A and B are shown apart, each in its own frame.
Chain A
Amino acid sequence: MAKPIVCINPTCTITFGSTVVDISDHLRMVAPSTEVEIIDNRTFASPKQREFGNQTDDITLTLGWSPDLYTALAPYINTAGALVCKPRGAVSTAIRATVRYGAQPWGEIAHGTTSEVELPLIVDGDITYS
């Protein structure tokens, strides 16, 4: 098995229909997460039995805010889009998911700093790497 990778110049796009929204220049971090419920169905006959239940996939994007970002995201609130995130920008394999966001992201605004925002994404289906 190859060793863990160090991310270099990660890129991220979300494609809505034929429109590609490239947020790479705003990208600080992409945080995919998957939670699987553990169901306790122990019985006297099987006192240690547990099963996996529902799976919930989320992705949170941390972005540097700009008016351009606001404009780019505005038309696609609650619209399904194809997210493609390449941990190493020069490589073709990517983390992929069908995602939606529910609102414009907002963050703190302070003199001399970047306004950093978090954009939580609902994942429809699974997060894959291909």
Chain B
Amino acid sequence: MAALALEAVMQAIADRLMEAQVVTHAFGYPTTGVDDGEATVGYPPDYTYGLPTGRALDAVVIPAWIIAGLAEEESTREVVADLLGDGPRSLKVALEGDLDGLVNALILRRTLIERVRFKDNLERTSVRADCEVWS
């Protein structure tokens, strides 16, 4: 039993998104260098300690943003639908599980569809996956 290995877990989420070909590239840390079709993993807003002995069941919600494309492009709609669906690009299929034994469980209970403005002043649609993770 151990505490959550936050650094490794954030990187594992990014790696999983690439392995499952959900995105072409994913950063395991928050960055503004992300582009269309890529992802960036953010820090959890808080950290909940679990059982008092052995640090089992520490819990966090780690957000991952997937940049689907330009907000007003029709093709972006298809990407968003694929991410939310249950096909090969499904976020839920790609992420849920135990990250090859790194965590007790990762469950994706909800995603948020957001508009973000990039440095080029154009708005993108991003899909934010809130990954609930237990150690």
Q: Which of B35-43, B50-58, B82-90, B122-130 contacts A (4 or more CB under 8 A)?
A: B50-58
Main secondary structure of the interface of B (DSSP, over half): loop
Task: Report the separation of the CA atoms of residues A8 and B1 in the bound assembly, to the nearest whole angstrom.
Answer: 19
How many residue pairs link A and B with beta carbons under 8 A? The number is 28
By size class, the interface of chain A is 10 to 19
Q: Is the CB of B96 within 8 A of A4?
A: no
Q: Mark A1-32, 1 if CB is under 8 A from B, else 0.
A: 01111111100000000000000000000000
Smallest CB–CB gap between B110 and chain A, Å? Answer: 16
Residues of B within 8 A of A6 (CB): 57, 104-105, 107, 134
Tell me, yes or no, whether A90 is within 8 Å of chain B by CB: yes
Given contacts A3-B1, A90-B97, is CB(A8)–CB(B107) below 8 Å?
A: yes
Residues of B within 8 A of A9 (CB): 96
Q: Is the CB of B105 within 8 A of A8?
A: yes
Residues of A within 8 A of B107 (CB): 6, 8
Task: Report the separation of the CA atoms of residues A96 and B107 in the bound assembly, to the nearest whole angstrom.
Answer: 25
Residues of B within 8 A of A88 (CB): 105
Residues of B within 8 A of A (CB): 1, 51, 54, 56-57, 96-98, 104-105, 107, 134-135
Q: Is the CB of A3 within 8 A of B104?
A: yes
Residues of A within 8 A of B105 (CB): 5-8, 88
Task: Report the separation of the CA atoms of residues A9 and B57 in the bound assembly, to the nearest whole angstrom.
Answer: 18
20 contacts between A and B (CB under 8 A): A2-B1, A3-B51, A3-B54, A3-B57, A3-B104, A4-B51, A4-B56, A4-B57, A4-B104, A5-B104, A6-B57, A6-B104, A7-B105, A8-B96, A8-B98, A8-B105, A8-B107, A9-B96, A88-B105, A90-B97
Residues of B within 8 A of A3 (CB): 1, 51, 54, 56-57, 104, 135
